[in-house]
Amino acid sequence: MAESKIYGYEDGTLDSVIKATDTAIQEMEAVNRQVLDISGQLPVVNDSTSGLKLAARFGDWYYEFGQVVGALRDLNGKATELLAHNRAVASDTADAG
């Protein structure tokens, strides 16, 4: 089947986006696990004003992490849908020809 190009995006480009977002999500989740491990130790090792400030920064991390990973998943989903659409159009065009 010939590579399709709808909305200016070739299949190969969309496939690269999908793989890159999958990789980024996996890497972000690994970093998040490390942050969770550290933040779990925080009350034990730093029960002070500075510890409270640091705990607040961890709160920022959790919120922003969710936003970033959510945006990556959204981008991945849209690229996946567009790739499926490209391939369906290419298949329909080949069948009609």
**Which structure tokens are listed for 56?**
């607040």
Q: What is the pTM (predicted TM-score) of this model?
A: 0.75
- Each of the 97 residues of the chain gets a pLDDT tens digit; together they read 445 555 668 889 999 999 999 999 999 999 999 999 888 777 667 778 888 888 889 889 999 999 999 999 999 999 999 999 888 887 666 666 5
CA 96/CA 79 separation, integer angstroms? 25
- List the one residue out of 92, 74, 69, 82 whose CA is nearest residue 6: 82
CA 16/CA 80 separation, integer angstroms? 11
